[in-house]
Structure 1
Amino acid sequence: MRQRKSEAVLESARTLFLAKGFDHTTVEEIAEAAHVSKATVYNNFPDKSAVLDALLDRVAVESSQILATVVAPLYGDGDLEDRLARTATALAHGVLRPEVLQLRRLAITESARAPQAVARYFERGPGSALRLLADALRDLHEQGLLDVPDNDRSAAQFAYAAVGPLQDRAILAGETPSAATIERYATGAARDFVAAHRPE
């Protein structure tokens, strides 16, 4: 019962924080949206900041559970450029989902208030994605398919080429890229990456 109420509080907090922001959301509103008493909220979380901490932790865990599917094409067969393009496309579609963008904005806004929670969010979300990509690139390097001796740096470069500009425009300018634009960036990132890291 307590776990169910805690989940309801977190779901309501997620909706309200994204719609109104952390500062403009009250514990009373969270309780009302979750159909629990204010006392129940405080029985599960010491204060509103603790709700934010738990929410970011939960989102980070959710992200880490699905990230492996993003790099799966790199462990498959077929044309390497196509596999990189499919990875870039999957990464972009995941990162550019409206709820993910909203949570990233929230994390940026609240990074000074909840630095440890936001750091955990990064490590389990964006940081985990980069590590998984770096591992896949190291594997391709060891197979002799790519020349990427610094796989961590190469993973960051590839991810930014595929997603970075689109994510920046989505967060800062509110522009949602079309599927065609995502595809263009993904295929371009893959083509340029293979050209830059083709073994001699």
Structure 2
Amino acid sequence: MNTNPATIRKGRKFEQVLEGARDIFLRDGFEGANVDDIARTAGVSKATLYSYFPDKRLLFIEVFRQECDRQTLAALDQIDLGAPVAEVLRQAAGHMVASFVNEFNQAVFRICVAESDRFPELGAAFYRSGPRRLHDELAGFLAGVDGQGEVAIPDAALAADQFIELCKADLYLRHLLRIDDSFAPEEIARVIDGAVATFMARYGVRT
């Protein structure tokens, strides 16, 4: 089948199809997801589904891309970019930690890893829509505040990666490996506070 994203056609029931697909992909994984089940859950015919998405991989990628868009726009809308750098980072860290332990995001990650040998384009699409986009947004912010009096960041791209990894401390792997399903507010605050404190200790300007 053609896997060019340009072959996606939107229509009146496009969002309906995505919602149904999201439920089935989470329940059955990528390979186990059945087109009949997706169409039934979405309340559309198979012909309608195929008219929008001629390839299941295109549908999977679009479901995740739209979820990333939703999470990113929600975070940017809630973060006060005019606040002091440490406070912006604290707000950003809150959204990142929530994203890292989000069941949908981690389910997509597991599916991409499991299918990466046969369908490497899934991993590439996941990277572009999720990790790379997060990196680019954060690196752009850090580059903009560098040298403005609060932080000195010679390599904004590296600093962005470092902060993202700090926000994965402890909770991310515990959730990914299904050791813990949820975390107390104080556990989340511990990771956020530690990430901001460590980052500012490295890049903060002392006056």
TM-score range for the pair, normalised by the shorter chain length: 0.7 to 0.9
Divergent runs of 4+, >6 A? none
Displacement of 1:62 = 3.0
Contact 1:138 1:151 in 2 (8 A): yes
Q: Secondary structure at the match of 1:142?
A: coil
Q: 1:5 to 1:107 in 2, by over 3 A?
A: same
Q: Which has the higher contact order (CA 8 A, sep 6+)?
A: 1
2:205 paired with 1:188: no
The unaligned stretches of length 5 or more in structure 1 are: none
Q: 1:82 to 1:36 in 2, by over 3 A?
A: closer
Match of 1:76 in 2: 82
Q: 1:86 to 1:56 in 2, by over 3 A?
A: closer
Displacement of 1:149 = 0.4
Alignment partner of 1:23 out of 26, 31, 41? 31
Alignment partner of 1:11 out of 19, 41, 58? 19
Q: Given residue 36 of structure 1, which amino acid in structure 2 is its aligned partner?
A: V
| 1:49-105, Cα deviation, whole Å (9 max, x unpaired) | 3322332333343344334347x34x3235x43443232122212332222222232
Q: 1:84 to 1:191 in 2, by over 3 A?
A: same
Match of 2:43 in 1: 35
What is the TM-score with the length of structure 1 in the denominator?
0.83
What is the TM-score with the length of structure 2 in the denominator?
0.81
Equivalence map 1:90-129=2 (5 Å): 90-129=95-134
Aligned residues: 196
Equivalence map 1:37-186=2 (5 Å): 37-69=45-77, 72-73=79-80, 75-78=81-84, 80-175=85-180, 176-186=182-192
Identity %: 29
The unaligned stretches of length 5 or more in structure 2 are: 1-9
Q: Secondary structure at the match of 1:145?
A: coil
Q: Partners of 2:197 and 2:158 in 1: how far apart?
A: 18
Contact 2:109 2:126 in 1 (8 A): no
Q: Partners of 1:13 and 1:194 in 2: how far apart?
A: 42
Higher helix share: 1
Q: Partners of 1:107 and 1:178 in 2: how far apart?
A: 28
Q: Secondary structure at the match of 2:13?
A: helix
